[in-house]
């Protein structure tokens, strides 16, 4: 890990600790280089969404471009973001991130899934693979997932095993009366036999 990356991880740790310990936390943002760096670190600490207010400090000594940036509407920012990269079209293309995934289910009970996420090195460099398993029985489902880093930019979830327990409380158990899908066919065999016999249609006596 590079010294700069180490400092970044320490800063992210401090930001998360401050959020967990302090009430009425806010970030002061003057749109300058220092506060913008801190804003970027907060975004990385909380995966892109800052959970506390960001307050702009207007010193009245800013450049006109800064005020134009502040007053830009969300819709305008969305459309202009497709052509504002300093490096032109090539840099615009490098701002795209890609994620692919696939899942296979066997007998609606056992599943395996794999995925991969890629972000260009110049735009964050997050790159990792994911793997997961699913086991379902009756109304209970158990999911396992594991994140495997493939770049030097580490994620807080690197090399961690996560699991979730799911209950599907459909009326009637497995065959729920809603639009749900039966996970396991556990209908008693005796009922199946009775049902199959009752469904038989007798042939006419004169049929050969």
**What percent of the chain has a predicted confidence (pLDDT) above 90?**
25
Query: Based on the domain organization, do 119 and 76 belong to the same domain?
Result: no
**Residue-wise DSSP of 37-71:** HHHHHHHHHTTT--SS-EEE---S---HHHHHHHH
The boundaries of the domain holding residue 79 are 3-84
Residue 152 lies in a domain: yes
Query: Based on the domain organization, do 116 and 74 belong to the same domain?
Result: no
Query: Based on the domain organization, do 80 and 128 belong to the same domain?
Result: no
Give the model's pLDDT for residue 202. 58
Query: Based on the domain organization, do 115 and 43 belong to the same domain?
Result: no
Total domains present in the chain: 2
CA distance linking residue 24 with residue 134, whole number of Å: 40
Query: Based on the domain organization, do 79 and 116 belong to the same domain?
Result: no
Give the model's pLDDT for residue 71. 79
Residue that terminates a domain, selected from 49, 84, 119: 84
For residue 117, list its beta bridge partners: 99, 128
Query: Based on the domain organization, do 15 and 80 belong to the same domain?
Result: yes
Tell me: the pLDDT tens digits for 57-99?
787 888 888 788 777 777 877 777 777 777 777 777 777 888 9
Query: Based on the domain organization, do 7 and 75 belong to the same domain?
Result: yes
Rounded average pLDDT over 101-116: 92
Query: Based on the domain organization, do 104 and 76 belong to the same domain?
Result: no
Instruction: For residue 145, give the nearest of 131, 157, 135 by alpha carbon.
Output: 131
pLDDT tier at 180, thresholds 50, 70, 90? very low
Strand order in the sheet with 161-167: 98-106, 110-118, 127-137, 140-149, 161-167
Element (DSSP H or E) covering residue 21: helix 3-21
Residue 121 lies in a domain: yes
Query: Based on the domain organization, do 106 and 142 belong to the same domain?
Result: yes
Instruction: For residue 134, give the nearest of 157, 158, 166, 159 by alpha carbon.
Output: 166
Query: Based on the domain organization, do 71 and 104 belong to the same domain?
Result: no
pTM above 0.75, yes or no: no
Residue 204 lies in a domain: no
Distance, CA of 147 to chain centre: 12
Residue 208 lies in a domain: no
Query: Based on the domain organization, do 122 and 146 belong to the same domain?
Result: yes
Query: Based on the domain organization, do 36 and 80 belong to the same domain?
Result: yes
Is residue 205 classed exposed, middle or buried when 0-12, 13-18 and 19+ CB atoms within 10 A define those classes?
A: exposed
Give the model's pLDDT for residue 200. 56
Residue 79 lies in a domain: yes
- For residue 62, the domain's CATH number is 3.40.50.620
Residue 144 lies in a domain: yes
Strands 27-29 and 54-56: parallel
Give the model's pLDDT for residue 197. 54
Is residue 198 classed exposed, middle or buried when 0-12, 13-18 and 19+ CB atoms within 10 A define those classes?
A: exposed
Residue 168 lies in a domain: yes
Range in 20-29, 85-94, 119-128, 176-185 the model is least confident about: 176-185
Residue 52 lies in a domain: yes
Residue that terminates a domain, selected from 61, 84, 107: 84
């Amino acid at each position: 890990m590079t010294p700069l990356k180490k400092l970044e991880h320490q800063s992210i740790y401090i930001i998360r600790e401050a959020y967990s310990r302090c009430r009425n936390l806010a970030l002061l943002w003057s749109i300058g280089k220092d506060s913008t760096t801190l804003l970027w670190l907060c975004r990385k600490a909380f995966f892109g969404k800052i959970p506390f207010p960001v307050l702009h400090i207007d010193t009245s000594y800013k450049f006109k471009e800064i005020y134009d940036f502040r007053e830009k509407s969300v819709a305008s920012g969305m459309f202009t973001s497709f052509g504002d990269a300093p490096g032109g079209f090539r840099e615009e293309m490098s701002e795209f991130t890609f994620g692919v995934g696939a899942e296979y289910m066997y007998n609606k009970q056992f599943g395996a899934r794999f995925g991969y996420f890629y972000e260009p090195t110049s735009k964050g460099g997050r790159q990792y693979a994911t793997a997961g398993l699913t086991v379902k029985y009756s109304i209970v489902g158990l999911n396992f997932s594991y994140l495997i880093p493939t770049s030097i930019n580490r994620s807080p979830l690197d090399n961690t095993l996560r699991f979730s327990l799911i209950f599907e409380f459909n009326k009637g158990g497995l065959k729920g009366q809603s639009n749900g899908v039966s996970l396991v066919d556990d209908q008693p065999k005796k009922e199946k036999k009775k049902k199959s016999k009752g469904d038989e249609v007798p042939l006419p006596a004169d049929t050969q």
